[in-house]
Structure 1
Amino acid sequence: MSSTLAEAVSDSVVITKRNLIKVKRVPDLIVFATLSPIMFVVLFRYIFGGAINLPPGISYAEFLLPGIFAQTVVFGSTVTGASIAEDLQKGLIDRFRSLPMSRSAVLIGRTVADLGLNVISITVMALTGYAVGWRINSSIAEAIGGFLVLLVFAFAISWLMALVGLLVRTPEVVNNASFIVIFPLTFASNAFVPLESFPAPLRAFAEWNPVSTVVQAARELFGNVPAGAPVPDVWSLQNPALYTVLWTVVILVVFVPLAVRAYLRTASR
């Protein structure tokens, strides 16, 4: 059944609402979505805070929080794949298939709803970060830009995870597969320690790792880079917002069609 753009948007809104209502009725999702960020902020702040040497003029809290933001929203995007795999297991995808609705609405509704969960996580982390010493030292517009960079990148990763969920079909495998990919990306970055401490090969990887540029862009937009700090000597970290946007566009261009195609093949079985 063909559908117009307006119908696709309307159907996506309905599916988004359905997923958000599910979150409301399963409070465990909200509990863990809020407790995990608090735990990460507090533990990293006070465990690594005294061990990391930073340039003068910046506290570890201000260095850390953009990295924790990036780690949490990227890991949070795995919820998309696990939720889709769970819907496949329970037969909900077959029910959606029987309805006169846009085929892309299920995936759009899922990724947009999970974007809402990331907004909740970032809000909780920001409040916790403020309590442990993090501050925004830029304008309101720049701060909003910092949060948008984080959320837009996480939205793109959600589409990658949606494809994984459609291919592997079980939430447990989605979690294991995503951990193998996302864990090294987040920790082999500038999220928690300066890149100067990395061995040369790992540093080269980290400098072009999109997670590093997401973190760097957020730090700059939040005003968490001290005045007089050395300018990075690689293009990606000199232009972190642009590099992140380029990665976001590439991920969406590649994985949105692949995920929709995988959904159509799955729904046709």
Structure 2
Amino acid sequence: MTHAWVLGQRALREAYRTPEAILPTLFIPLFFLVVNVGQAGKIFPAASTDFLQGQGYGAFQLPQSLLLAASFGTAALFLVEDIEGGYFDKLRAAPISRVAIVLGRLVAELAKGLLISAAIVLLGVVFGISIASGILGFILLIVLTALWAVVFVGFMQLIALKTRSAAATNSGGLIFFPLLFLTPNFVPRDMLTHPMEVAATLNPVTYVMESLRSLILEDLVWSSIWPGFLVVAVAGALMLALNVRLIQRYD
């Protein structure tokens, strides 16, 4: 774990030295939040829309912005730079466990995810969004978002390790957008058409989004919260195992 922490610190320094890679992570999700609320806010007024639980439509849209912010995967692009520059080969030759090599960047991504998600939620609070589940709900909200960021970066690292190409890795991140829009991101799941409801039910991102939304709109309804954490736990373990396996077979 010491090696993973040292490598994680190095990855955080990379992010600190390239703030231009972090700014889109904040700007683009907030842009989508403003645009979506501007388009549909009047269609779903707080006073007469039951699923908003008395809040504005921005509270319903905030989980989408959080998931979008957590799904940039810039750490995988830094990994490609290490591969192209030969540093990754030096790590593989060093007496470091393969798990530590994988965990290093994931630890850094967890830290970045906590900071970015906290910043977005606090901005939402400034503009009138309330976290109905209180302080504990706020903590769970940013932790779940950060864990999703770790899962997504784990997926992106698989592409980076397999292709060793920045272009392919960057393009691989686009797979998230279909998954994001195959969720109940504009209305609850029971208001979707039947084909869309089936697609959303099969989509694991749906359960993460619904958990985040529950933490914002409701007061700690655990039956709505635990499925999101289960998804990131299972997906995170799978991504870790696949990353380690790929590094072990890396030639």
Relative to the length of structure 2, the TM-score reads 0.86
Counterpart residue number, 2:63: 66
**For the Cα contact (< 8 Å) 1:37–1:72, is it kept in 2?**
yes
Match of residue 121, structure 2, among 123, 126, 143: 126
**For the Cα contact (< 8 Å) 1:82–1:175, is it kept in 2?**
yes
Counterpart residue number, 1:251: 235
What per-residue deviation string (whole Å, max 9, x for no partner) do you get for residues 192-223 of structure 1? 3333453211211213422221121122222x
Match of residue 178, structure 1, among 168, 173, 176: 173
Match of residue 261, structure 1, among 216, 223, 245: 245
Distance 1:192 1:85, change over 3 A: farther
Displacement of 1:52 in angstroms is 4.6
For 2:66, the aligned partner's letter is F
Counterpart residue number, 2:80: 85
Between the aligned partners of 1:263 and 1:69, the Cα distance in structure 2 is 30
For 1:214, the aligned partner's letter is V
For 2:131, the aligned partner's letter is I
**For the Cα contact (< 8 Å) 1:52–1:193, is it kept in 2?**
no
**For the Cα contact (< 8 Å) 2:61–2:186, is it kept in 1?**
yes
Counterpart residue number, 2:41: 49
User: Does residue 174 of structure 2 align to residue 190 of structure 1?
Assistant: no
Match of residue 92, structure 2, among 87, 92, 97: 97
Gaps of 5+ in 2: none
**For the Cα contact (< 8 Å) 1:89–1:169, is it kept in 2?**
yes
For 1:14, the aligned partner's letter is V
Question: Which structure has more RCO (C-alpha within 8 Å, separation ≥ 6)?
Answer: 1
Counterpart residue number, 2:225: 241
Between the aligned partners of 1:252 and 1:31, the Cα distance in structure 2 is 25
Between the aligned partners of 1:48 and 1:131, the Cα distance in structure 2 is 21
Between the aligned partners of 1:86 and 1:198, the Cα distance in structure 2 is 43
Counterpart residue number, 2:30: 38
Counterpart residue number, 2:142: 147
**For the Cα contact (< 8 Å) 1:38–1:128, is it kept in 2?**
no
Between the aligned partners of 1:238 and 1:25, the Cα distance in structure 2 is 40
**For the Cα contact (< 8 Å) 1:12–1:108, is it kept in 2?**
yes
**For the Cα contact (< 8 Å) 2:144–2:212, is it kept in 1?**
yes
Between the aligned partners of 1:252 and 1:225, the Cα distance in structure 2 is 26
What is the RMSD of the two structures over their aligned residues, measured on CA atoms? 2.4
For 2:68, the aligned partner's letter is Q
For 1:72, the aligned partner's letter is A
Identity %: 26
Displacement of 1:70 in angstroms is 2.1
For 2:225, the aligned partner's letter is A
Distance 1:169 1:12, change over 3 A: same
